[in-house]
């Protein structure tokens, strides 16, 4: 079983589309834990930690309200996590990924600092790395990535992006990679 921590926030349209893609394209058994990180002014880190504390699955996924998934994304990420004891995975291949690339593991890119907007890991890995700081993005995601690296973990990435970050911001990869752009 996989437990998801999905933030809500004030971007309701993005959240609705993200949730629809999650439900439509996820066939692996999972529980969904929705935490509103705007409630009582709690930050994203606190919401992620609360979701993890409620999770009962062997794996946990931390994802934001602006991630849109493709078919088979979770199965592929679980496969990557299970390739070793010190791997986490992300379905989102960001434009800055090459900057932190280490090497390849069985043909998959190994990266030491990515995945802050959608991370798949064993619950035991979360317990070892520890909780997120009770801050909002963007800095906590990168601080958490640093802690992941210090704990000896790296991310494995699929050969093609299996999810997309659709936040209303400018990306260098443009809308041509956004299959949900209307």
CATH number at residue 94: 3.90.550.10
DSSP letter, residue 69: E
Confidence of residue 22 (pLDDT cuts 50, 70, 90): very high
- Judge whether 137 lies within some domain: yes
Judged against a pLDDT cut of 50, whether residue 175 lies above it is answered with no
3-state secondary structure at position 2: strand
- Judge whether 128 lies within some domain: yes
- Judge whether 127 lies within some domain: yes
Element (H, E) at 167: none
Judged against a pLDDT cut of 60, whether residue 174 lies above it is answered with no
Q: Taking the CA atoms of the chain, what radius of gyration do you get in angstroms?
A: 15
- Judge whether 182 lies within some domain: no
- Judge whether 130 lies within some domain: yes
Q: How far apart are the first and last CA of the chain?
A: 33
Percent of the chain whose predicted confidence (pLDDT) is above 70: 73
Model-level pTM? 0.82
Question: What pLDDT, on the 0 to 100 scale, is given for residue 173?
Answer: 38
Q: Which domain holds residue 171?
A: 2-177
Higher pLDDT, 46 or 173: 46
Q: Tell me the residue ranges of DSSP E strands in 76-173.
A: 87-89, 101-105, 108-111, 118-122, 154-157, 163-165
CA–chain centroid gap for 130, Å, is 16
Q: How many domains does the chain have?
A: 1
Question: What pLDDT, on the 0 to 100 scale, is given for residue 133?
Answer: 82
- Judge whether 46 lies within some domain: yes
């Amino acid at each position: 079983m996989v437990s998801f921590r999905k933030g809500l926030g004030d971007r309701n349209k993005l959240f609705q589309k993200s949730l629809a893609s999650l439900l439509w394209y996820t066939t692996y058994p999972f529980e969904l834990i929705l935490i509103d990180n705007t409630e009582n002014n709690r930050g994203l880190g606190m919401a992620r930690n609360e979701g993890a504390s409620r999770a009962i699955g062997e794996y946990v996924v931390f994802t934001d309200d602006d991630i849109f998934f493709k078919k088979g994304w979770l199965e592929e990420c679980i496969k990557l996590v299970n390739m070793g004891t010190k791997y986490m995975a992300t379905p989102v291949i960001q434009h800055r990924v090459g900057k932190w690339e280490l090497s390849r593991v069985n043909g998959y890119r190994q990266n030491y600092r990515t995945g802050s907007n959608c991370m798949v890991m064993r619950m035991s890995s979360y317990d070892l790395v520890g909780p997120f700081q009770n801050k909002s993005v963007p800095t906590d995601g990168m601080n958490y990535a640093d802690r992941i690296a210090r704990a000896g973990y790296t991310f494995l990435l699929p050969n093609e992006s299996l999810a997309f970050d659709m936040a209303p911001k400018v990306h260098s990869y443009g809308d041509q990679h956004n299959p949900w752009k209307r």
